[in-house]
Amino acid sequence: MILDRINNPKDLKGLSLEELKTLATEIRNVLIHKMSISGGHFGPNLGVVEATIALHYVFNSPIDKIVFDVSHQSYTHKILTGRKGAYLSDDSKWGVSGFTQPKESEHDFFSIGHTSTSISLACGLARGRDLNGGKENIIAFIGDGSLSGGLAFEGLNVGGEMGKNLIVVVNDNDMAIAEPHGALTHYLRKLRETKGEASDNYFKSLGYRYYYVEEGNEISSLIAAFSKVKDTPVPVVVHIRTVKGKGYTIAEDNREGWHFHAPFDIETGQKKGQGIGENYGFTVRDFLLKKMAKDPSICVITPAVPMSCGFNAEIRQKLGNQFIDVGIAEEHAVTMAAGVAKNGGKPIVVSLSTFYQRSYDQILHDLCINNCAATLLVRNGSIWGDTDETHLGFFDIAMMSNIPNLVYLAPTNCEEYLAMLDWSIEQNEYPVAIRIPCNKLVHTDKQVEKDYSILNKFLVTQQGEKVALFALGDFYQMGEEFAEAIEKEFGFKPTLVNPRYITGVDVELLESLKAKHQLVITLEDGIVEGGFGQKISSFYSSSQMRVENMGLKKEFTDGVKAAELLKRNGITIENLLNKIKSYFK
Amino acid sequence: MILDRINNPKDLKGLSLEELKTLATEIRNVLIHKMSISGGHFGPNLGVVEATIALHYVFNSPIDKIVFDVSHQSYTHKILTGRKGAYLSDDSKWGVSGFTQPKESEHDFFSIGHTSTSISLACGLARGRDLNGGKENIIAFIGDGSLSGGLAFEGLNVGGEMGKNLIVVVNDNDMAIAEPHGALTHYLRKLRETKGEASDNYFKSLGYRYYYVEEGNEISSLIAAFSKVKDTPVPVVVHIRTVKGKGYTIAEDNREGWHFHAPFDIETGQKKGQGIGENYGFTVRDFLLKKMAKDPSICVITPAVPMSCGFNAEIRQKLGNQFIDVGIAEEHAVTMAAGVAKNGGKPIVVSLSTFYQRSYDQILHDLCINNCAATLLVRNGSIWGDTDETHLGFFDIAMMSNIPNLVYLAPTNCEEYLAMLDWSIEQNEYPVAIRIPCNKLVHTDKQVEKDYSILNKFLVTQQGEKVALFALGDFYQMGEEFAEAIEKEFGFKPTLVNPRYITGVDVELLESLKAKHQLVITLEDGIVEGGFGQKISSFYSSSQMRVENMGLKKEFTDGVKAAELLKRNGITIENLLNKIKSYFK
């Protein structure tokens, strides 16, 4: 294998075009094989094998600096920069991060997992270069789907004015995670159809010289284009047309399904292992579809993650006006929801905890100051969600629960979740966010509350004494276990509370607990600092009641699984019992 | 006066063109007169008198819906929609909000004070209309300066795809607050120079029909253009060329200085009242200029608020590469700073507490996960900052202090501020934010710490007993007063602490206080929930130490001054002494 000789981008320089092509085939095979074992961002990586080889052939990394947007398409880059071992291994564990990671290599400049940041980062690298009199090339490699993000525009707009070396490679595979959205998508299609000659060139209007590469999976075309722009004194865009999932027909034919893929059988494309079975995503989908059929003013808005609520292409099509994928544009999704609510619609935004970080100001300024009755569904706000350091769902409680007017709800099971959602859709007074449980789907046969309009009314699910456990959201089941363990160990029944509301405290309940309780323990699936438990601590800290906050330390963990996180943070029965012992010795 | 007859937009409909022109002159005179008494957003409002009259003449508000971006240019709109009394009054108080405000009028749809939101809000209104089968026109009125914001792009991009009635009026006065920035600015200039005919039309590339109005201060041209696009079935952009400060020569000649202006003498343009004297803005400017002259790798980045660090046009020019105004693009400013830091530069971002809300994810994901050594200067994070509900600076502690890796510092006086800034610029380990004090500038003759690299080391400024006061940032002087009052009232000297670090607690100090103290009082210039004091409460809540958190309630207040806020939130000596009495009775 030629790949055997490649340990560094420099090793590419002596290869002939034929050898580079062979290398591309080898790498593609390695990627398919490895992802069939370990899963991964399939489509994006297969599409850019040639482009990555060509970049490293033409430019001199790490002097020249390549920033991969989102960076989930950086597998070939990693293979070429000293990390091929991880990809050649048959171990089902990856061994390297799925994203660029400076700790792994001097060829990676940033840990990146959110989209649309590459151009701004590149602008910064370019300005740092200019401050220090450097001469290197700065390259941002960004997919067409990421261009809909406001930050990508801000970066393009500033980069276009800087008038210095800045190379933006637009990797156009005509897809975001799902089909791309926004008017720019249609314009890019025009550019593809005219081989880059369409009038009203978006990139030129923003100050860039523009180059189009029709064959973005042909190494020779790519090398020619990159060579032309190397050492450019002005900002340029190189627009390359690639095929998502290139080289694996099953993926080329189903590009959304193969954006990310679980381990699979290479012959058939069949997923290995079991399906995930009943889950909150599909449950809410069925609920919403029924509800939307009855009420045409309900509208689901999602920033490029329609499958978050189980909406596949067919459903999206059928919903017409009632569904809008705004593309990767988390800010817009929330602000638009405020507008929909203001004009008689009932908007539901669906996104992930980590991506709502993009919408902090839109939630606060657009939605909450205006008290617009929109619903935000928050997925993966949990230790059971993504574990990559760029996708952690531990911060949303601290982020959202301290925004005035917002009602942030934490359901503890399926029935409660749907009841809260139903209430939120029907009410017209509050912006509401719902933190979707992320542990195993739990059903209850108890009656759940239908009306959540009396805010901050916590639910006591077990009346007890001495110790009260406040177990928030999907940590509620842990609360039940803890309560049992306490009773077993100490012989008294503790009080168990399902707080339901994250954004406030139930003053009446908290006061009443003082009579028969000496210790409150708060349990939350997120960082302690700025979180729910600290509101309880703050309430009680001027009284005799003792409070212990159980939750996560404020830190970025990378690839650490839920079980390990619980242990590290002392969220264990053993630790709980020890704590209680120290109070009641 | 014709204005006497105008109480509602409907009253415009019967006026002749000549009468409309006279009305414009009348309104302009009213605005100049009123702002000479009360101050206000001078330039933006004088520039759009005609456009606002023409909009209300052609469209039927509130059925047709106009959303003013930032909305600080909505004075004429308010005059035409039943609120002229406030503008005709010689009272130095305004009587109405300086922004659109739904509580005031059915013609105002949103409370808005941040830029670049109007198109997304309009998209939402349009979708709400379509869900309910409505037919009205939806208009976003946005300045060229606001187009650099990523959210404006996201809105344009989604709006351009919706294919329905959506009218975006681009009010182009060739200015942001200062001169505008970004490549789009240059493109808009080309459009102006070619009367809208320049090739590579940005708006067309995003799916809009495009109309150019050369005379944006001529009512007849405006009426013609708006009439043409009324009831358009597809999205359109009407690009109107206006003059900021139109009709008041002094303002036309100094457009940055007259963006907002304090009360002034109409004859001379001289500001009434005294200058603000020595302040943190000018102090940091002088410090930075010296520092930047010595070290060419230092670079100041600001999203369109260069005067936040006292950088006027002349200084900006002189700094060359070392200064970059990225235009209204708060996300980009922070992400770019991460890039600059990564490539050997020392970036300092300057913005306001309320605008950093736009950068939450950029601070967390781009800066802090990557631990880039950039400095964020946070202005107006205070009750002494802006009082408009859209510009409150009460939320940044809750927002930023819970982000991992960030070191958020709270200096208590001028010397400490500059020492922290100096340390932050020189160090290479942490992303650092500094909350600039907002009360009167305070000097100290005590030696201040130069090295802040041992994190979370609080400073005990007075050793005492029983009660410890943790007085954060610009509430420190209040802490001194409180300490004195306690000593006077109760005869013991309390301990006084300058925490300095907002992002963590000094465990050693906190433990040691347990020996001789029974009560800790935290004082912070921000909301209590999610804030600094709750970290202290959380620490102590499992011990016998009692804690009282003093700070603001989590709410949006509008136009409430600092003194009143302190009173409302019980941050008074009287309340403090009462609290202490209840502990030590």
User: What pLDDT is attached to residue A275?
Assistant: 65
pLDDT of residue B575 exceeding 70, the answer is yes
Q: Does A124 reach chain B within 8 Å, measured CB to CB?
A: yes
Are A273 and A246 contacting, i.e. CB atoms less than 8 angstroms apart? Answer: no
User: What pLDDT is attached to residue A325?
Assistant: 95
Cβ atoms within 10 Å of B13's Cβ, excluding its own: 11
Q: Does A196 reach chain B within 8 Å, measured CB to CB?
A: no
Distance of residue A392 Cα from the nearest chain B Cα, in angstroms: 10
How far apart CA B434 and CA B377 sit, in angstroms, is 5
A425-484 residues touching B, CB cutoff 8 A: none
Chain A residues lying within 8 Å of B112, measured CB to CB: 365-366
Average pLDDT over residues A346-366: 98
Are A164 and A235 contacting, i.e. CB atoms less than 8 angstroms apart? Answer: yes
- Residue in chain B closest to A297 (alpha carbons) equals B131
Average pLDDT over residues B79-99: 95
Per-residue pLDDT tens for A522-574?
999 999 999 999 999 999 999 999 999 999 999 999 999 999 999 999 999 99
User: Is there a contact between A321 and B130 if contact means CB atoms under 8 Å apart?
Assistant: yes
User: What pLDDT is attached to residue B22?
Assistant: 98
User: What pLDDT is attached to residue A277?
Assistant: 72
Higher pLDDT: A310 or B387? It is B387
How far apart CA A191 and CA A212 sit, in angstroms, is 8
User: What pLDDT is attached to residue B179?
Assistant: 81
pLDDT of residue A178 exceeding 80, the answer is no
DSSP A472-522: -GGGHHHHHHHHHHHHHHHSSPPEEEE--BSSS--HHHHHHHTTTEEEEEE
User: Is there a contact between A154 and B530 if contact means CB atoms under 8 Å apart?
Assistant: no
Are A109 and A100 contacting, i.e. CB atoms less than 8 angstroms apart? Answer: yes
Average pLDDT over residues B150-156: 98
Are A458 and A448 contacting, i.e. CB atoms less than 8 angstroms apart? Answer: no
Chain B residues lying within 8 Å of A122, measured CB to CB: 339
Q: Mean pLDDT over all residues of chain A?
A: 96
pLDDT band at A273 (very low <50, low <70, confident <90, very high): confident
B297-356 residues touching A, CB cutoff 8 A: 297, 299, 321-322, 324, 326-327, 329, 331-332, 335-345, 347
Q: Mean pLDDT over all residues of chain B?
A: 96
The stretches of B382-531 forming alpha helices (DSSP H) are 396-400, 414-426, 476-490, 507-513
Nearest to B530 among A157, A365, A402 (CB): A402
User: What pLDDT is attached to residue B278?
Assistant: 78
User: Is there a contact between A357 and B358 if contact means CB atoms under 8 Å apart?
Assistant: no
pLDDT band at B463 (very low <50, low <70, confident <90, very high): very high
pLDDT of residue B517 exceeding 80, the answer is yes
Average pLDDT over residues A1-17: 97
- Residue in chain B closest to A152 (alpha carbons) equals B150
Nearest to B335 among A124, A337, A531 (CB): A124
Average pLDDT over residues B182-197: 96
Chain B residues lying within 8 Å of A296, measured CB to CB: 131-132
Name the nearest CA neighbour of B353 among B404, B391, B388: B391
Percent of the residues in chain B that have a pLDDT greater than 70, as a whole number: 99
User: What pLDDT is attached to residue B174?
Assistant: 85
User: What pLDDT is attached to residue A370?
Assistant: 98
Distance of residue B471 Cα from the nearest chain A Cα, in angstroms: 17
Per-residue pLDDT tens for A104-158?
999 999 999 999 999 999 999 999 999 999 999 999 999 999 999 999 999 999 9
Name the nearest CA neighbour of A360 among B374, B375, B354, B128: B354
User: Is there a contact between B110 and A201 if contact means CB atoms under 8 Å apart?
Assistant: no
Segment (H or E) for B548 = strand B546-552
Nearest to B361 among A183, A337, A358 (CB): A358
Structure tokens at B535: 């970290």
- Which residues lie below 8 Å from residue B494, measured CB to CB, with a gap of 6+? B462, B464, B465, B466, B467, B468, B469, B483, B486, B487
User: Is there a contact between B529 and A402 if contact means CB atoms under 8 Å apart?
Assistant: yes
Average pLDDT over residues B484-489: 97
* Radius of gyration of chain B from its Cα atoms, rounded to whole angstroms: 26
How far apart CA A554 and CA A527 sit, in angstroms, is 5
- Residue in chain A closest to B544 (alpha carbons) equals A544
pLDDT band at B306 (very low <50, low <70, confident <90, very high): confident
Name the nearest CA neighbour of A377 among A401, A410, A412: A410
pLDDT of residue B184 exceeding 70, the answer is yes
pLDDT of residue A177 exceeding 80, the answer is no
- Residue in chain A closest to B337 (alpha carbons) equals A124
- Residue in chain A closest to B374 (alpha carbons) equals A124
Chain B residues lying within 8 Å of A115, measured CB to CB: none
User: Is there a contact between A335 and B155 if contact means CB atoms under 8 Å apart?
Assistant: yes
User: Is there a contact between B361 and A365 if contact means CB atoms under 8 Å apart?
Assistant: no
Nearest to A370 among B110, B326, B336 (CB): B110
Nearest to A556 among B153, B404, B537 (CB): B404
Which of A109, A118, A120, A321 should be substituted to probe chain B, the one whose Cβ sees the most B Cβ atoms within 10 Å? A120
Are B266 and B293 contacting, i.e. CB atoms less than 8 angstroms apart? Answer: no
Q: Is B244 helix (H, G, I), strand (E, B) or coil?
A: coil
Query: What is residue B155's DSSP assignment?
Result: H
pLDDT band at B276 (very low <50, low <70, confident <90, very high): low
Are A155 and B338 contacting, i.e. CB atoms less than 8 angstroms apart? Answer: no
Average pLDDT over residues A489-513: 98
Percent of the residues in chain A that have a pLDDT greater than 70, as a whole number: 99
User: What pLDDT is attached to residue A308?
Assistant: 82
pLDDT of residue B281 exceeding 70, the answer is yes
- Which residues lie below 8 Å from residue A362, measured CB to CB, with a gap of 6+? A330, A331, A332, A334, A335, A338, B117, B151
User: Is there a contact between A182 and B157 if contact means CB atoms under 8 Å apart?
Assistant: yes
pLDDT of residue A174 exceeding 90, the answer is no
- Residue in chain A closest to B391 (alpha carbons) equals A365
Chain A residues lying within 8 Å of B111, measured CB to CB: 369-370
In Å, what is the CA distance from B1 to each residue of A191, B22, B24, B33, B87? 56, 9, 11, 15, 14
Average pLDDT over residues A226-250: 97
pLDDT of residue B275 exceeding 70, the answer is no
User: What pLDDT is attached to residue B413?
Assistant: 97
User: What pLDDT is attached to residue A61?
Assistant: 98
pLDDT of residue B54 exceeding 90, the answer is yes
Apex B297 CA angle, B292 and B300, nearest 5: 60
User: Is there a contact between A541 and B542 if contact means CB atoms under 8 Å apart?
Assistant: no
